[in-house]
Structure 1
Amino acid sequence: MRILPAERPLPGAGASSPLPDSSSEQPPVIRRAEVVAFALVALLVICIVAVLYFAKAFFLPVVMAFVIGTMLSPAASFLERYRIPRAIGAVLTVAAVGAAASFLVGLISSPLVEWSTRLPELGARLKDKLHALDPLLSLWQDLQNLVGGHDALASLQIPKFDWVQPTIEFLSPTFTEFLLFFATLILFIASWRDLRRTLILTFTNHDARLRVLRILNEIEVHLGGYLLTVTVINTGVAIATGIVCAIVGMPNPAGLGAVAGTLNFIPIIGPVVTFAILVGVGIIALPTLSAGLIAPLAFVGIAFMEGHFITPTIIGRRLSLNALAVFLALAFWTWLWGPMGAFLSSPLLIVGLIVKEHLAPINSPQLPAD
């Protein structure tokens, strides 16, 4: 009878050592269904962006009307409390906003028309003023001479008018877009309650209806408060800038203040453009270069106080906006829809944050920490 040799124990294994578990924790594996779902969502987003870009003539006025209509809806509700029909209140609200916008356009356009007839004279004056920067530009001019260049100020030419028509076409919408915007705005404000009710009743689940109601109420409150607060703040910026321009001796201080207040509705880009305008007007209109820089530097102080203390203190209590998110939203909507997209970037970001807070609240299950 053959005796089998005893099995040798594994090195380091005792009598009480547990057997290795075959179902030990493994790294998560991305399944094919998840990849397909991610790819479909990405394609859907790309298609939506492409439609919004190529159908800008339709979607921009409609989205603008929806956003501004949501902001102005509390005004129509206020008039409705005094027994004014909502349709008439919508017309009165839009007419008041249109009159205010027309007044601002008048303040801004009058100096532009006047200065456009004096472009050669203003260009020659600007060239003379820039010669005061020769000591600061000496190093740059020496470098130009080394590479065979010439005087930069001597080559300063009056810009041609080829850029005027494309710029006007880019900044100003067509008559059809204006008509679509105002018609949609009036009808949206007049029928906002019916639209809310229809949207809420679309869902059959009670919790879903309650969630949609809360989202709509919060959007209306935040957008209305945002418009009112930002309008008051920008009016203060316009008044302060106009006073500074009047003290310094800038031409048409009311128009320059209106420009500062209007452009301040566009975050980041607006103050930069206002500063450039004040620098150009100050250098051309005032006798010395140092005098021409007083108003722009004062505006930098005003914009700094407004952007870092006043606006965050007031708006930040209601809905905090991350600086990176504001910048990315501004860049995206400006690329997509131009200046009007830049104006809509912050309201649309607020709407997105509100929807995100209700659909994915903070107290929901979170991923484990790293």
Structure 2
Amino acid sequence: MRVLPSERFLTDTPEGTPVPDSKAERPPLIRRAEVVAFTLVALLVIAVVTVLDLARAFFLPITMAFVIGTMLSPAASFLERYRIPRPLGAVLIVIACAAAVAVLVGLISSPIVEWSSRLPELGAILKQKLHVFDRPLALWQELQSMIGGSETLPALQLPKFEWVQPTLEFLSPTFTEFLLFIATLILFIASWKDLRRALVMMFRERQARLRALRILNEVETHLGNYLLTVTMINTGVGIVTGAICAMTGMPRPAGLGALAATLNFIPIIGPVATFVVLVTVGIIALPSIGAGLIAPACFTVVTFLEGHFITPTIVGRRLSLNALAVFLSLAFWTWLWGPMGAFLSSPLLIVGLIVKEHLMPVNSSQLPEG
């Protein structure tokens, strides 16, 4: 008589032993340890973002000083070759940068002060010239009423100017933050070599030290090149914008060019803000709306060529930045730290990409072809 395998198992095992399932056990797709690790990382990110938001008055000037100090560190090393001590070179570099910023602020603030004193008059002029859109709005209302819509469009009204003072308060840092930024910037540039050596020696293994040294050197090189390249590009954009404003009869072309160069340091938002300013100034200052839109149209062409051809060709050779990553970084840091965060978004993204490339190389794990 033939004994089946299942019967043989039942006869050989003692009573009370569970019968195994016919299907083999499969490991879960997501293990409990992975869920716990992901949850802990998510909580850590939330905690860090909360701390950066609540302690913005401290972390923003410190981060700004670290990023700008890393950008300017090659200049201090260059001055050291000519036997200028690094602390003295740090002071000279900060003074030169402060002088350049003061010139830009002077060029921009002069027309702003003049126009702010004439806000009611300029608002009336702008409202009068925008009456040309009353007829299209009336036609739209007529079309809406024929379709059956009950909503009516309100008359074209200009926003009130009560936003000027809160905006200036939001854009300008406090005196304490400014002092903290300047002091940290000078000390960071002066002691960058010692700080870099200390960061490398924190690791015990030789391989880890070499990796940390490569990361710091690459961050310094890329940020320095980024600052130099973007400054030259934005200076060119400012000069071209000022020339366009002068040729089209716009008032204060030097101030508008300086504004375009300054705002162009902020990706996406800066050119849009400059375009809005040029449209507003052109409509107010020039006799017709068509004449006022010439300078903004030319500026749009300039920024299109700069953003799609010039900057990607020059900057992209050093470190390619994904457009979606740039946009998300800009949105996040602007939400967290305002305009200064928008300025820091691209440098911080570059630092993050460099660290990611060294800690998680592309060839570290190959995905199966599918």
Q: Deviations over 1:157-205 (max 9, x none)?
A: 56142x2332122111100000000000000000000000000011110
Residues 1:119 and 2:122 are matched in the alignment: no
SS in 2 for 1:114: helix
Q: CA deviation at 1:151?
A: 5.7
The percent identity for this pair of structures is 73
Query: Structure 2: where are the runs of 5+ without partners?
Result: 6-21
Letter in 2 for 1:225: N
Aligned mates of 1:274, 1:7 — CA distance in 2: 85
CA distance in 1: counterparts of 2:153 and 2:225, whole angstroms: 55
Instruction: Provide TM-score, normalisation by structure 2.
Output: 0.91
Q: CA deviation at 1:5?
A: 7.1
Q: Contact (CA 8 Å) 1:69, 1:188: kept in 2 or not?
A: yes
Please report how far the alpha carbon of residue 90 of structure 1 lies from its aligned counterpart in structure 2 after TM superposition: 0.1
Which whole-Å CA distance do the structure 1 matches of 2:246 and 2:144 have between them?
A: 40
RMSD (Å) for aligned C-alpha atoms = 2.1
- What is the one-letter code of the residue matched to 2:160? P
CA change 1:219–1:5 in 2 (3 A) is: closer
Residues 275-298 of structure 1 show CA distances to partners (whole Å, capped at 9, x for unaligned) of: 000000000000001000000000
| Amino acid aligned to 1:159 | K
Closer, same or farther: CA 137–7 of 1 in aligned 2, 3 Å: same
Q: How does 1:50-129 map to 2 (within 5 A)?
A: 50-129=50-129
Distance in 1 (CA, whole Å) between partners of 2:318 and 2:158 is 50
For the residue of structure 1 that corresponds to 2:136, the secondary structure is coil
**1:138, CA displacement in angstroms?**
3.4
Contact 1:141 1:151 in 2 (8 A): no
- Aligned in 2, Cα 1:25/1:244: closer, same or farther, shift over 3 Å? farther
Could you tell me which residue of structure 1 aligns to residue 205 of structure 2? 205
- Structure-2 change in CA distance of 1:129 and 1:211 (3 Å): same
CA offsets 1:210-266 (integer angstroms, 9 cap, x no match): 000000000000000000000000000000000000000000000000111100000
Query: In structure 2, how many angstroms separate the alpha carbons of the residues matched to 1:98 and 1:144?
Result: 56
Change (3 A) 1:26 1:294: same
Could you tell me how far apart the structure 1 residues matched to 2:314 and 2:322 are? 15
Match of 1:13 in 2: none
Contact 1:67–1:347 (CA under 8 A) maintained in structure 2: yes
Structure 2 matches for 1:214-233, cutoff 5 A? 214-233=214-233
Q: Which consecutive unaligned segments of at least 5 residues does structure 1 have?
A: 9-21
Kept in 2, the 8 Å contact 1:123–1:158? The answer is no
Give the distance between the partners of 2:169 and 2:274, measured in 1 at CA. 21
How far apart in 2 are the matches of 1:133 and 1:356? 52
Instruction: Give the aligned partner of residue 305 of structure 2.
Output: 305
Structure 2 partner of 1:290:
290
The answer to whether the Cα contact below 8 Å between 2:200 and 2:212 also exists between their aligned partners in 1 is yes
* Separation (CA, whole Å) in 1 of partners of 2:125 and 2:144: 24
* Distance 1:5-1:93 versus aligned 2 partners, 3 A rule: closer
- Asked whether the 8 Å contact 1:279–1:292 carries over to 2, the reply is yes
Give 1:41 shift: 1.0
Letter in 2 for 1:202: M
State the TM-score, normalizing by the size of structure 1.
0.91
In the alignment of these two chains, the number of paired residues is 352
Q: Which residue of 1 aligns with 2:178?
A: 178
Alpha-carbon separation, structure 2, partners of 1:6 and 1:48: 67
Cα distance in 2 for partners of 1:34, 1:7 equals 43
Q: What is the match of residue 8 of structure 2?
A: none
Q: Where do 1:1-370 residues align within 5 Å?
A: 4=1, 26=26, 28-142=28-142, 147=150, 149=152, 152-153=155-156, 156-157=157-158, 159-161=160-162, 163-370=163-370
Distance 2:42 2:153 in 1: 52
Contact 2:137 2:153 in 1 (8 A): no
Instruction: Give the counterpart letter for 1:278 in structure 2.
Output: L
State the Cα distance separating 1:136 from its structure 2 match: 3.5
The 3-state SS of whatever aligns with 1:93 is helix
Aligned counterpart, 2:11: none
* Residue pair 1:132, 1:289 contacting (<8 A) in 2 also: no
Q: 1:5 to 1:184 in 2, by over 3 A?
A: closer
Provide closer, same or farther for how the CA distance between residues 150 and 203 of structure 1 changes in structure 2, counting only shifts above 3 A.
closer
Q: Deviations over 1:64-100 (max 9, x none)?
A: 0000000000111111110000000000000000000
After superposition, the C-alpha distances for 1:288-323 in whole angstroms (9 at most, x for unaligned) are 010000000000000000000000000000100000
